[in-house]
Amino acid sequence: MNQNLQQKTASNSPPVYNGGITIKSERELQAMRRAGAIVAETIAVLKQTAKPGTTTGRLDQIASREIRKRGAVPTFKGYRGFPGSICASVNEEIVHGIPGGRILEDGDLLKVDVGATIDSFIGDSAVTIGVGNISEEAAELIEVTEQSLYEGIAAAIDGARTGDIGHAVEQYAVSRGYGIVTEYVGHGIGRFLHEDPQVPNYGPAGRGAKLKKNMTIAIEPMVNIGGGKTRLLPDLWTVVTADGSLSAHFEHTIAINKGKAEILTKIQ
């Protein structure tokens, strides 16, 4: 990376991502821990407020307030023109749902995806929340999707490859009869929301970019009760399952270590 160019752009205009994998310094990791903690705290508040009768727009307001009162900014607001501070996707909506007037109903499966930027670094995390009383099949989908994320995190160690993560996620979810979304993937993250490498939720193992200590990536399995195929709604943001089946999504931003990866999007 060209140091002079970075310094120059930093003082004049927002930095521009020129591609490539970035290894974070300890100071940069500290900023990412702060960003990650703010995301985790915001998600904890959303879990408390996502009840039947609440709108997704209200959750967006609450998230924005929680992020800003901690000195950060909502990363997604205005990202490629995205209108919300968070993504809120319900039932067959997989990701990138736009918050608005939709009223949450008992039994809904709500996915919230939250990004926060502080000191120029970003945290990105998503959870699936059962609204009120959810069906047994929805509860099982949530459980398997969350566990598939942790299987992926367990595979994300120094020297492994992105394909090892995807393989672990896919094996876990597919062996339980679910469909994995392949058209959207996890990603490197740091100063920019989407950096290299891509982190697919499918194999094969042993392929893809090599993971190195202090690389930071977001792993984010999207798992459907039906098939993995997706469709884009006319708003050009909301991604839904092609077959209308329920979908779940979990995501953490992590830092690669020699051993177990460090989850950055957690309450410190």
Contacting residues toward Mg ion, per CB under 5 A: 113, 124, 126, 218, 251
Closest separation in Å from C-beta 93 to Mg ion: 14
Residue 241 φ/ψ, nearest 5 degrees: -70, 140
Comparison of 62 and 112: residue with beta carbon closer to Mg ion: 112
Q: Compute CA distances 234 → 98, 164, 215, 220, whole Å.
A: 12, 35, 36, 24
Q: Helix H segments across the chain?
A: 3-12, 26-49, 56-69, 136-155, 162-175
Q: Is 117 helix (H, G, I), strand (E, B) or coil?
A: strand
Closest separation in Å from C-beta 246 to Mg ion: 19
Closest separation in Å from C-beta 5 to Mg ion: 26
What's the burial of 229, exposed, middle or buried (CB within 10 Å: 0-12/13-18/19+)?
A: middle
Closest separation in Å from C-beta 2 to Mg ion: 27
Comparison of 77 and 176: residue with beta carbon closer to Mg ion: 77
Q: Which amino acid is at 136?
A: E
Closest separation in Å from C-beta 19 to Mg ion: 17
Comparison of 113 and 262: residue with beta carbon closer to Mg ion: 113
Comparison of 31 and 105: residue with beta carbon closer to Mg ion: 31
Comparison of 21 and 107: residue with beta carbon closer to Mg ion: 21
Comparison of 25 and 79: residue with beta carbon closer to Mg ion: 79
Closest separation in Å from C-beta 99 to Mg ion: 14
Q: Is 61 helix (H, G, I), strand (E, B) or coil?
A: helix
